[in-house]
Amino acid sequence: MLQVCDVLCPDKKNNFQTVILSRKTVPSTIEAIDTNLTSQLQSKIGQFKFCSIAMDESTDINDTAQLVLFIRGVDENFEITEELACMRSLKGTTKRCDIFREFQEGLLTLKVPITNICNITTDGAPNMTGNKSGFLGLFNQNYAGNNIVFLHCVIPEDALCKSALNMKPLLDAVVNLINTIRSRGLTHRNFEIFFSPCNLNTLMYCITRKQGGLVQDVFSSEFGS
C-alpha cells in the first residue's frame, strides 16, 4: 500500500503509515464502510415517493445462485437515485419461495415500503414470471390488490443465435483437436515447443462451458498475429 502511495499521493504517505492493517482492523473497517453505505441508501430510500425494483438471479463461478436487486426511485424534488440495493445468496434451491424470501429480506434490510413500489422487473425465467409457480404469482398472493406493474426482460440476441445455429460440427472439431493435443504428453510438449514464441497453451476440454471462449482461443492461436 505504501508503494502505491508513493506513486499516487506521495505527499500523504505519512497518513498511510499510521493506518493499522491488522487482521481484525481490516474486516472491521470493511464492515464500518458497509454499514455507512447502507445507512446512506436507507436515508435516500426513506425520501422516495415512488421506486422500481429490478431483479436478476444467476449463478456465479462457484455455482452459487445469486439474487441481485437494483432500486431506482424519485423523491419529491424529482431527484432520481439508482443503486445496487443488495445481493443475496441462494444456497439451496432457487424456487419461487426462495426468491421471494430473499426479496423480502432485502427490502426489509433497506426499509423499502411495498406501497412505494410501482414496478418490478425480472428476468424471463419461469421461477420469476410464472403466475402459479413463479415469484410473480407468490408476490400477488401475499400482496393481493397491489398496483405494481410486472415486466420481464427480453431474451438476449446471443442466446437466440446460439439456439438457432448448429455449433456441434465446429465444436466437435475444436474439442477433438484440443483433446488430441492434451491426451499424450509427447504431443503436448511438441505443441508447447512449436508455439513457444507465442506463449500459447491449451486446456483439456471436458465439459461444455464457455464454448465461445474455447473456439476463440483456437482461432486466435491459428490465425492471430
- Cell triple for residue 38? 447502507
Cα–Cα distance for residue pair 196/181, rounded to 1 Å: 15
User: Tens digits of per-residue pLDDT, 2-53?
Assistant: 777 777 777 877 777 777 667 777 778 788 888 888 888 888 888 999 999 9
- The pTM (predicted TM-score) of the whole model is 0.59
Q: Which domains does the chain have, with CATH numbers?
A: 1-47 (no CATH), 48-156 (3.30.420.40), 166-224 (no CATH)
User: Tens digits of per-residue pLDDT, 139-194?
Assistant: 888 888 888 898 887 666 666 776 777 778 878 888 888 888 878 888 778 877 77
